Structure 1
């Protein structure tokens, strides 16, 4: 329904001319007088009369639209247009009937009053129809534009929120890893070099992953292992990771940094010592489309949990319109279940 203005102007004018010719000139073919030879004159007269109806009506419509472009003012524009155009249409009709009847343009004379009301009702009908069509097209076009802009604003808003979330979940382990690296450089240079390589890989992944809305679960898992390597060098035997069910993960997708956030959350809120080791398990269920990250619960005394990490991750899933993240806690175990998707399943979501 997004019809260009110039096409609407031309096609509308031609259609109205055809209608007026049918309404006003059809009687010539049933007239008792031989007036068929006046058909060319009737065509010219009808085209001129149509222009006198169409163009002023169009001018009033566009003028009102320019003055009050708001979609909520549709009825105001239509009402004002009719207040202007109805008197104009009645006057124009009187001029037409006067010319036709009293100058005997067709060579016959008919009842003035009857012919005036019949012609006036037809003219006003087409004026109202033109106003309604113009307004309907304008309303649809502006509504579609508004919807497009709203979707674009929503997309930009989601991207901004998503970027803000990614910034907030990245820096937590930076200071600890740097301190660990300093210690390794003094004790074991070869191990420090390996640590530096893994640290470089982790941050390279962070930079690349931030460019994607979803990332391969396999890549995310490789990154998680590298991230765990950095943490293992700090906690040694106090920290353990077990990954299972990773046989069919090639085409599965997850939001980037999801597993890293869960590992970091477990390490942040639990005691990790050689005497009280922390065991983290990652169970991948490709058929059910989920990953469960669990750890034995041994909370740090006096630690205050703000819940920001998990809430940020949960918000990320919500912004991406993915299934909800599930959190389960008992006296011994804390687990988080996150959804994983195949590409076709993600593409089918209405974003």
Structure 2
């Protein structure tokens, strides 16, 4: 704990403060006597510097413990309010100890002035408070820069997700299969063809929607997924069997758009499926309102140039940038289960 840093610049701040601090403190302790000769000045300065350096680790440890108790940037005033009185007590003990320190080593060349005790304490308290404020300013500035960077990364990840969704939508194989299925239905069942076209328009509209929301409700995403699965089932028939069982209590929570779609594309286009060995996909939820996507595994070597693993990698990165647990993937030889955490509060996520 003692060797941890309160902030990246905290040791530099301390070193900049230590030299003038020791010089002024020695003037308060010994008066003009300490400047009587170069030897006395250097000797007293060295002794005080060693003592203050040791005390610095005590201040640092206390500061880190208080920050651990109030870690959020929003707790800055709590941290400062806790540090100032605690540091005041430590300063009193430090000045008391330094008087005893010089008495113990019998620094007779320039005896310490006991009458300046409280002036020394006041100076130490002002100095420690100044360092607290500077360190907090640096920590919060670093946190602000980090949040700006993470926000930009999140926006980039979101834009990439939209691009991946667009790529999936305009993927020639996807378009060809949709139009081919639609063409077959028109000649066989006009009513089914009309529904297919309606669901196809919903899928494309969701993928190409123009809003800039980084999160959507689970209900919105599942409506899109149902339309998407209708297109898939129209093409593959009984080879793909999908079921959605998500309770209403979870449908009002939030999820990054196209999250389930990314997972479904990966499942459908990286596995083989037939009526004899169907690909079973089930979307449920746990009591903690975590979406669970389970499927059996029939891996295939795809010649499709579209990288479906890239979509999952991008989604994993996005969840890392959200204030939410990450995506968990558990896989055995026969099946794979994906756990997608849901976000209860849309505002807290950013």
- Name which structure has the greater RCO, CA cutoff 8 Å, separation 6+: 2
CA distance in 2, matches of 1:289, 1:315: 21
**1:150 equivalent among 126, 146, 149:** 146
Q: Does the 8 A contact of 1:269 with 1:299 survive in 2?
A: yes
CA distance in 1, matches of 2:340, 2:210: 18
- Equivalent residue runs for 1:224-243 within 5 Å: 224-243=225-244
In the other structure, the counterpart of 1:178 is: 175
By how many angstroms is 1:260 displaced? 1.0
Q: Which runs of 4+ in 1 moved over 6 A?
A: 77-83, 126-139, 302-306
- What's the TM-score, normalizing by structure 1? 0.55
Q: Does the 8 A contact of 1:270 with 1:298 survive in 2?
A: yes
SS at match of 1:292: strand
By how many angstroms is 1:334 displaced? 1.9
Change (3 A) 1:149 1:127: same
SS at match of 2:339: strand
Change (3 A) 1:140 1:243: closer
In the other structure, the counterpart of 1:266 is: 267
In the other structure, the counterpart of 1:334 is: 336
Question: Number of residues paired by the alignment?
Answer: 253
Q: Does the 8 A contact of 2:181 with 2:235 survive in 1?
A: no
- Equivalent residue runs for 1:282-321 within 5 Å: 282-285=283-286, 287-301=287-301, 307-321=309-323
Unaligned stretches of 5+ residues in structure 2 = 1-8, 24-31, 33-121
Higher radius of gyration, 1 or 2: 1
| Cα deviation digits, residues 82-128 of structure 1 (max 9, x gap) | 99xxxxxx9xxxxxxxxxxxxxxxxxxxxxxxxxxxxxxxxxxx999
Q: Does the 8 A contact of 1:82 with 1:128 survive in 2?
A: no
Change (3 A) 1:318 1:135: closer
Q: Does the 8 A contact of 1:209 with 1:256 survive in 2?
A: no
| Cα deviation digits, residues 165-211 of structure 1 (max 9, x gap) | 44235422533342134324543074444333322222322244862
- What's the TM-score, normalizing by structure 2? 0.55
Of the structure 1 ranges 265-274 and 174-183, higher mean CA displacement relative to structure 2 is found in 174-183
SS at match of 2:283: strand
Change (3 A) 1:133 1:245: closer
Matched, 1:252 2:231: no
By how many angstroms is 1:302 displaced? 6.9
- Equivalent residue runs for 1:45-60 within 5 Å: none
CA distance in 2, matches of 1:81, 1:247: 64
Change (3 A) 1:329 1:78: closer
CA distance in 2, matches of 1:75, 1:281: 61
By how many angstroms is 1:221 displaced? 0.9
In the other structure, the counterpart of 2:102 is: none
- Equivalent residue runs for 1:161-172 within 5 Å: 161-172=157-168
Q: Does the 8 A contact of 1:181 with 1:196 survive in 2?
A: no
Change (3 A) 1:216 1:306: closer
Change (3 A) 1:185 1:145: closer
Unaligned stretches of 5+ residues in structure 1 = 1-69, 84-89, 91-125
When the two chains are superposed, the root-mean-square deviation of aligned CA atoms in Å is 4.2
CA distance in 2, matches of 1:265, 1:145: 41
